[in-house]
């Protein structure tokens, strides 16, 4: 039985692709009030503003390219004899565009749309508007298919099952500020996994990790993957 590896990623893995993080010096939450653009209440108050926010992020993402860290994880997924599961907090599609085949988006995806009336999901257009009718029920109730603060992250049962059976757990490019993701390292440790944090600087939960590798993801992630794949 080969080692199962579960990898949690955050905004830091996409930073060198030009996408902003949230809590760094020039992060998104230093420019926008998350209550206004990343909560159901904010969306109810001003849907046009929220659609504009995600339309801008969708355009930013379309113009970005995956970096060496995304490519290294795709190589690990392809060449590691055991199962590799990428759980991302990111709503961008750079893991997929970097070649990863099995990505779990626990906070949803920018390139997906959701109807708040009937629950229908479909590929999001580049620009979404409040008045857009749902393709299935025609209600003007479309929203980005992303998980806002106060909402339940997606695929949690599957994520818990992966964590309970992994031999290695890595967290890459995440500040450890948002739960439940920040608590995954504790679950992996309880499952007996070796845990490693790969980040530009120590996260809020760095003390929970057995191993740390600090530096830009485009450098530390390929080196870590090489260490796992070399005999
Ligand atoms: N390489 C590696 N790590 C980096 C890099 C880089 N080039 N640049 C920044 N980082 C690290 C930062 O040091 C920080 O610890 O990435 C982390 C980014 O943290 P956040 O901005 O808090 O992003 P994240 O942890 O993904 O946020 C989690 O919060 O707002 C919600 O839903 C949103 O998914 C997001 C969640």
C-alpha 177 to ligand 1 mean position (Å): 9
Indicate if 155 belongs to the active site.
Answer: no
Supply the pLDDT for residue 87. 98
Tens of pLDDT, residue by residue over 38-81, are 999 999 999 999 999 999 999 999 999 999 999 999 999 999 99
Supply the pLDDT for residue 231. 78
Residue nearest (by alpha carbon) to ligand 1 atom 36: 178
In the chain, where are the structural domains located? 1-18+66-107+153-231, 20-63+110-146
C-alpha 131 to ligand 1 mean position (Å): 33
Tens of pLDDT, residue by residue over 163-181, are 999 999 999 999 999 999 9
C-alpha 199 to ligand 1 mean position (Å): 9
> Mean pLDDT, to the nearest integer, of 102-131?
97
CB 55 near ligand 1, within 6 Å: no
Considering only the top CATH level, what class is 1-18+66-107+153-231? alpha beta
CB 107 near ligand 1, within 6 Å: yes
DSSP E strands: which ranges in the chain? 5-9, 84-88, 103-105, 108-115, 121-123, 142-146, 168-172, 194-199, 211-214
CB 22 near ligand 1, within 6 Å: yes
Sole residue written with tokens 């206004």: 36
Catalytic hit among 51, 105, 107, 162:
107
Residue nearest (by alpha carbon) to ligand 1 atom 23: 11
C-alpha 90 to ligand 1 mean position (Å): 9
Q: In degrees, to the nearest 5, what angle opens at C-alpha 200 toward C-alphas 176 and 171?
A: 45
Do the Cβ atoms of 183 and 189 come closer than 8 Å?
no
Taking the C-alpha atoms of residue 214 and residue 217, their distance in angstroms, rounded to an integer, is 8
CATH of 20-63+110-146, one of 3.30.1600.10, 3.40.50.300, 3.40.640.10, 3.40.50.450: 3.30.1600.10
Q: Which of 23-32, 48-57, 70-79, 131-140 has the lowest mean pLDDT?
A: 23-32
pLDDT range class, residue 2, cuts 50, 70, 90: confident
């Amino acid at each position: 039985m080969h080692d199962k590896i579960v990898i949690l990623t955050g905004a830091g893995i996409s930073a060198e692709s030009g996408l902003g993080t949230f809590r760094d010096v020039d992060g998104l939450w230093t420019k926008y009030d998350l209550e206004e653009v990343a909560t159901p209440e904010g969306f109810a108050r001003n849907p046009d503003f929220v659609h504009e926010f995600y339309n801008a992020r969708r355009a930013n993402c379309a113009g970005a390219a995956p970096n060496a860290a995304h490519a290294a994880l795709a190589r690990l997924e392809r060449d590691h004899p055991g199962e590799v599961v990428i759980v991302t907090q990111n709503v961008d599609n750079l893991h997929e565009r970097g070649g990863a085949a099995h990505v779990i988006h626990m906070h949803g995806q920018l390139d997906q749309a959701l109807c708040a009336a009937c629950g229908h999901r479909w590929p999001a257009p580049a620009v979404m508007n409040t008045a857009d009718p749902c393709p299935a029920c025609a209600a003007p109730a479309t929203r980005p298919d992303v998980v806002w603060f106060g909402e339940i992250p997606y695929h949690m049962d599957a994520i818990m099952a992966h964590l309970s059976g992994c031999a290695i757990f890595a967290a890459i490019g995440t500040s450890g500020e948002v739960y439940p993701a920040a608590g995954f390292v504790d679950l992996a440790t309880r499952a007996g996994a070796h845990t490693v944090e790969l980040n530009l600087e120590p996260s809020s939960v760095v003390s929970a990790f057995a191993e740390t590798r600090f530096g830009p993801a485009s450098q530390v992630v390929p080196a870590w993957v090489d260490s796992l794949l070399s005999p």
